[in-house]
Amino acid sequence: MNDVLAMRYARDQEAADTLADQVFGRLAMTVRIDMLRSILESEELNDRWPFLLEVLVRLNRLRNALAHGFVACPEEGQFQISTVNRGVVKNLQFSSKELAWLAWQSDVATTELRALWAVLIPEADDWFGPEPPAS
């Protein structure tokens, strides 16, 4: 996702690499998802990847719950993640089928982000830098 965001905001590939590594990786995932939403809307690409944002939101929610919560298996095939945020206990329930679907969709989202990156490559001849001298 960082590479896609950098592609949109950088002036050349070298700057995009720096943005992806040094800037976008430091932003909260929710901020990066919102930025990606803006890109998809401004480029009119929502219909091409209609589920990408929702999958990223769900993956981020699961990631945060796992990073800051406790996992229990109240019954076979069910997982409960309990978190406490500002004194409020929140229990998230996932079935093994839901987690398998998210795992599959994470691979799909990776492929879709790569395709989006390719769509956003600028047409400028100097994007990738000057051509090496002929030998």
Q: Are 40 and 49 in contact, with CB atoms under 8 Å apart?
A: yes
* Element holding 65 (H helix, E strand): helix 52-68
CA–CA–CA angle 105, 117, 19 (5° rounding): 110
Percentage with pLDDT > 90 across the chain: 68
- Tell me the residue ranges of DSSP E strands in 36-129: 70-72, 78-85, 88-95
Residue 126 lies in a domain: no
Q: Is residue 98 a part of any domain in this protein? A: yes
91: three-class secondary structure by DSSP: strand
Within-domain flag for 133: no
Kindly report the average pLDDT of the chain as a whole number: 91
Residue 55 lies in a domain: yes
The 10s digit of each residue's pLDDT in 68-115 is 899 998 888 899 999 888 888 899 999 999 999 999 999 999 999 999
| Full-model pTM | 0.84
DSSP state of 131: P
Q: For residue 77, is it left (φ>0), alpha (ψ between -120 and 50) or beta?
A: left
What range defines the domain where residue 75 resides? 2-120
- What is the number of domains present in the chain? 1
Report the pLDDT value the prediction gives residue 93, as an integer from 0 to 100: 92
